[in-house]
Amino acid sequence: MNPVAAQTGGSDPNLPAWEQGIINARDLRFKNFPKIRYVVPGLIPEGATLFAGRPKIGKSWAVLQICIAKAGGERALGWISHGACESGDVLYLSLEDGERRLQRRLEKMEAIFGNACPQRLEIKTKWRRFDQGGLDDIRDWAQARPNPVLVVVDTLAKARPRPKGKQDGYQLDYDALTGLQGLAQELRIAALVTHHDRKAEAEDTFDTVSGTLGLTGAVDTILILTRKKGVGCTLHIRGRDIENERELAMTFDRATCEWRVDGEAAEIHRSRERNAVLGVFQTAAGQLTVAEIMAGLNRDDRPAVDQILSRMVARGEIRRVKRGKYEKVK
């Protein structure tokens, strides 16, 4: 190997193409990189993030809260354990809403933040598609601001390139976000893009994103917001720079339109489920069958309810009187 390439990573323009950018493994091992920047600590790092969920589940409210928090240095999503965000310049591309609707949403946010209109938050309702100059516009915006930290694209359908002729679905989806991902890495900002999931269930929640695996393969971080009857809302998180995949329980306050992180989903949902069962016993007298408990919970998933009841019996919260029948421990 050319010794210049080994030492400089191929910065010599006289090197052949295959040696340009090459680096020795030992040099890479001890190379110093800047610390990863987080928009929301532990949840959204720099790079491209795909935020998916069912239509009307409240994704736009969530990203608006994140934008305001980041621009104003406030705590995002009530994420208390990680404190407030470092402030920076934020661009919110709200491509499905007009200014009138956004004004109403900002008014709602005043109940949460007090100042819901930080100077460093800028909003646009129209933007060129990524392949028609949209990525260049994002770069120009970032270069014109003193501390750009976050760009939100709401939604992907309004910004992605339109298909041209017959193209491979995976490659089409991958190309829709790979340019934005590269730009976010180049600028060291976070680019958060909202998208829909599909109705069909999947063994892996991250496979429910609408489209092919090209979308999730192109980004650095994936957020999936789900809502299940009897369980509530869960934010599923997986990322290249997030060490452990995690699931967080979320609550949406319809009065204030505020999203809050309640804690680790497994613990919070178990607590909610037990309290719901105890509430059914509270309103009924004596012993209850599983069918009666399910009716009180408005649930039809018998195996899951059986598991909840078994755990509650083990904890001494209820007693199994006989097969399929329980009573509350006094």
pLDDT digits (tens, 9 = 90+) for 61-85: 999 999 999 999 888 888 655 555 6
pLDDT digits (tens, 9 = 90+) for 100-110: 999 999 999 99
What's the maximum distance between 2 C-alpha atoms anywhere in the chain? 86
Tokens for 267? Answer: 């613990």
pLDDT digits (tens, 9 = 90+) for 274-297: 888 988 988 887 889 999 999 888
User: Sign of torsion, CA 87 251 93 177?
Assistant: positive
What is the pLDDT of the chain when averaged over all its residues?
A: 88
Angle between helices 134-143 and 169-187 (to 10 degrees): 10
pLDDT digits (tens, 9 = 90+) for 147-172: 999 999 999 999 999 988 787 889 99
pLDDT at residue number 13:
78
* DSSP tag of 284: S
Which of 162, 192, 190 minimizes the C-alpha distance to 176? 162
Which is higher by pLDDT, 35 or 134? 134
Beta bridge partners of 239: 221, 242
Average pLDDT score over residue span 223-240: 89
